Copies of this chain bind each other. A is one copy, B any other.
Amino acid sequence: MATLGDIGVAAAFNLLSAFVFFIAFAVLRLQPFNDRVYFPKWYLKGLRTSPASSGAFVKKFVNLDFRSYLKFLNWMPEALKMPELELIDHAGLDSAVYLRIYLIGLKIFVPITIVAWAVLVPVNYTNKTLELQLKNVTSSDIDKLSISNIALESDRFWTHIVMAYAFTFWTCFVLLKEYETVASMRLHFLASEKRRPDQFTVLVRNVPPDPDESVSETVEHFFLVNHPDTYLTNQVVCNANKLAKLVKQRKKKQNWLDYYQLKYSRNNAQRPIMKTGFLGLCGKKVDAIEHHEAEIGKLSKEIAEERERVKKDPKAIMPAAFVSFKSRWGAAVCAQTQQSRDPTSWLTEWAPEPCDVYWPNLPIPYVSLAIRRLIMAVAFFFLTFFFMIPIASVQALASIEGLEKVAPFLKPIIDMKFIKSVIQGILPGLALKLFLIFLPAILMIMAKFEGFTSKSSLERRAATRYYLFNLVNVFLGSIVAGSALEQLNTFIKQSANEIPRTIGVAVPLRATFFITYIMVDGWAGIAGEILMLKPLIIYHLKNFFLVKTEKDREEAMDPGSLGFNTGEPQIQLYFLLGLVYAAVTPALLPFIVIFFGLAYVVFRHQIINVYNQEYESAAAFWPDVHGRIIIALLISQVALIGLLTSKKAAQSTPFLIALVVLTIWFYTFCKARYEPAFVRYPLQEAMMKDTLERAREPNLNLKPYLQNAYIHPVFKEEDEEDEFDFKSENESVLVPTKRQSRRSTPAPSRISGASSPSLPPEVVPEHPERAS
C-alpha cells in the first residue's frame, strides 16, 4: 500500500507532466502555422483570417515575439472571461450546458471536500485500529485517514452516517438548483432564439400506405383534415442513402485527384503512377491522374442517374415526412398528441434541427424498431459481460505460441529476443486497448441500428451504454477485481445482502488505485486534450500534401466537436468515485476537485476556440446527466451500507436505507417536475412567441422559408445556389452583424503578440433582453 509520500510523488509527477503539456500547448498555439488547429472555431465563424496573408515570411510560420511566451498560461483566465450568455451565443446552448457538468462537479465536491477534511479526517485519524491490527505490515497513511482506521462496532460510525446524509442532501440540493437553472436556460433559449424551421415542423413517421395517393398527398390530406387551421406544408423523405454513398465516393476520388495533380505540378518530369488493386499495393499500373478523372466521370454519371431515380421513383419515397405548420402552437399541438387510432401509424415527434437529422434512419417502420431494440439490448448485455471472451482468444492467438502455430514462417523473426519481448509485452494489451478505443464507435453503430432519428439522440443513447459499460467494467471491475463475466458469476451466487458487503469491503482498499487512475486518466487526459495532437498532425499532413487554395485549407481543419457520447460517461465516472469515497476515504476528494477544476478551464477554452458543434439540441441531454449523478449517489449509499455491515455497525442500516428511499423519491420528483421541459414544448410559450412574431411581422410568409428547410443534405449541396436566400437568412442567426467589423481588421493576437483571440472588453452580450 502506498504511503502519503508515494501518492504525493505521483501527484507531483502527474501535475508536472500536465504542466509540460500546457507549456507545449502554449508554445505550439502561438505559432501562426498552427493557428487553424488551435482556433478553428473563429475561422469557421469568419472572425479570423489566415495569418499567412500578411507580414514577413518567417513570421508567417514562427512566432518570434518572445514576450508572448512569458505569459504562457494566459489562456486560462481568458477562457474563463467570456460570460455565459456570450458563450451560448458563440457556441450554442449544448456546449454551455456541457460546461455546467464540470461546474456542478466543483459545486458538489468543493464543499464536500472541505467538510470531509474538517470532520471525517480527524475522526478517522485519531484511531489506532490499523496500527494494532497490522503490526507487521506498514499500513498506508491514506488508510489512516479513511474509515478503515475505525474499530468494529465503534460509535464513531455515526459521524459517517450523518455525513452521508449531509453529502446526499447537499448533492441533491445542487442537482435540484441546477436542473431548475438548465430547464429555464433551455426554455429561455428556445424562447429568445430566432426563427428556426424546427420550431414549426413535426416529423411524421409510419405514414400508412395508400393505393391511390402518393405519400405527400396522403400526408397533406390527413393534416388538412385533422389540423385544418394550422397545417402549412410538408416535405416527404427520400431514401437517398445510395446517392449519399456515391457522392461520398466521388469526393474521396476527387481528393486523390487533387493530390496527384499537386504532385504532378511540383514535379512536371514524371506523371504520377498508381496501382489499381487493393490499397494501391497490387494490380495494374496506371496513370493516376487519368485513372481518377475517368473514375470521377463515371461516378458523376451514376450520381446523375441515381438523382433522377430518387426524384421520380415512388419506391424511393419513404413513408415519412416533415410536416410544417403555420404557427409554433400548431406544431406543438401536433408533436404532443396522438393522431390516429392506431398508435403505430402517424407517429409524430418534434422535428430535430435540420443539421441534427440522421437521415438514414427515417424510413424504418415501427415493428422493425421494436425488434431492433430487443436485438441491441441483448447484444449490449453480451458486449458488457462477455467482451473479454473474444479478446482473450485474440490474446491467445497473439501470444508467441499462437503466432508460431498460425504462421510458422514467422518463427525465425519471432525467436529474436527483442521481437519476442515486444510481442509478449505489447500484443496482449494491444487487443484490449484497441477494443476500448473502438468501443464508442461500436456503441454508436449500435445506436444507429436502433433507429434513432437525430444525431443528438444517437449520442445520448451511445452515452448511456458507454456509461453502463464503464460502470460495470471499470468501476465494479476494479473493485470486485475480475472480468465482468466473473463479477456476474460472483453477484449471482451471492445473496442480496452479501453484494453491498462485497462492494463495501473492497471500496476503501482500492482508494490508492483510483487516486492513481484519476491522476493518469483524468489529469493527464485533460491536459492531453488541449494539445490536440491528432488534429495537429493530420492538419499539417493535409496542408503539406493537398492544400492549394484557401478553401482547401478550410476543409483541412478538423475542429471536432464535444463528443457527448465519449466525454460525458467519463465525467460521470469521476462523480461516482467522488461520491463513493466522500464518506469512506476523504483523501481522494482533492484529486477529484483538481480534475473538475482543470477540466472546466480546458474545455471552456476548447469550446471557445476549437470545437464546432454539429447540431443544437438545446441541452436535451440534461435529464441523463442528472439521472446518472443520482445513480452514483445510490451506489455510494449501498456501498456504505455494505461497509458498515462488515464493520458490525449494522444497526445503522435502516438509516441508510431510508436515505436510499429518499434519494429515489427525489429522482422521481425531479423527473416529474423538470423533465417535461426537455421533452415537451408548453403551449403558453409557443403562443407567446407566435403572437409576438405576428405583431412584429404581420405580413410574414412562412411557406417559402419552410418549403426547403428539410431536404436531404445530398440534394442541398448541389442546390446551394438556388437556396442562397435561405442560407443567408439562416446564417444571420449564427453571425450577428457586429462581427463583420472584426472580419476585416486583422485579429489582434498575431500583431500585438497577445496570446489569444481574447474578446475585447466592449463585446457585451448581443441580446441584452436575454439577461432579463
Contacts and interface: CB of A to CB of B under 8 A. Distances in A.
A495 to B, nearest CB: 5
Contacts of A764: none
Contacts of A338: 336, 676, 680-683
A684 B341 contact: yes
Interface stretch (A486-494, A508-516, A521-529): A486-494
Contacts of A229: 229
A589 to B, nearest CB: 31
Contacts of A676: 338, 343
Nearest to A494: B495
Contacts of A225: 684, 687
A684 B339 contact: yes
A226 interface: yes
Nearest to A370: B669
Of residues A225, A336, A672, A682, which shows the largest number of chain B Cβ atoms within 10 Å of its Cβ? A682
A225 B497 CA distance: 57
Interface string A335-372: 01111110110100000000000000000000000100
A346 B684 CA distance: 10
Contacts of A370: 665, 668-669, 672
A598 interface: no
Interface in A672-704: 672-677, 680-685, 687
Interface residues of A, number: 47
Contacts of A374: 661, 665
A740 to B, nearest CB: 35
Nearest to A333: B333
Interface in A651-674: 661, 665, 668-669, 672-674
Of residues A227, A339, A668, A683, which shows the largest number of chain B Cβ atoms within 10 Å of its Cβ? A683
Contacts of A685: 341
A444 interface: no
A337 B665 contact: no
A226 B330 CA distance: 11
A103 interface: no
Contact of A343 (B226, B498, B661, B674): B674
A226 B337 contact: no
A119 to B, nearest CB: 29
A682 B340 contact: yes
A722 to B, nearest CB: 36
Interface string A468-480: 0000000000000
Contacts of A571: none
Contacts of A683: 226-227, 337-339
A332 interface: yes
Contacts of A681: 338
A151 interface: no
Contacts of A496: 491-496
B340 A337 contact: no
A296 interface: no
Nearest to A668: B370
Contact of A495 (B187, B226, B492, B669): B492
A495 B738 CA distance: 67
Interface in A614-673: 661, 665, 668-669, 672-673
Contacts of A668: 370
A461 B374 CA distance: 30
A118 interface: no
A378 interface: yes
A381 to B, nearest CB: 9
A82 to B, nearest CB: 28
Given A374-B665, A672-B370, A687 B226 contact: yes
Given A337-B337, A494-B496, A495-B498, 20 more contacts: A187-B341, A225-B687, A226-B329, A226-B687, A227-B683, A229-B229, A338-B676, A338-B680, A338-B682, A339-B682, A339-B683, A341-B677, A341-B684, A343-B672, A343-B674, A374-B665, A491-B496, A492-B497, A493-B496, A495-B495
Interface of A: 184, 187, 222, 225-227, 229, 329, 332-333, 336-341, 343-344, 346, 370, 374, 378, 491-498, 661, 665, 668-669, 672-677, 680-685, 687
27 contacts: A227-B683, A336-B336, A336-B337, A336-B338, A337-B337, A337-B680, A337-B682, A338-B676, A338-B683, A339-B682, A339-B683, A339-B684, A340-B682, A341-B682, A341-B685, A343-B673, A343-B675, A343-B676, A344-B672, A344-B673, A346-B684, A370-B669, A370-B672, A374-B661, A492-B496, A493-B497, A495-B498
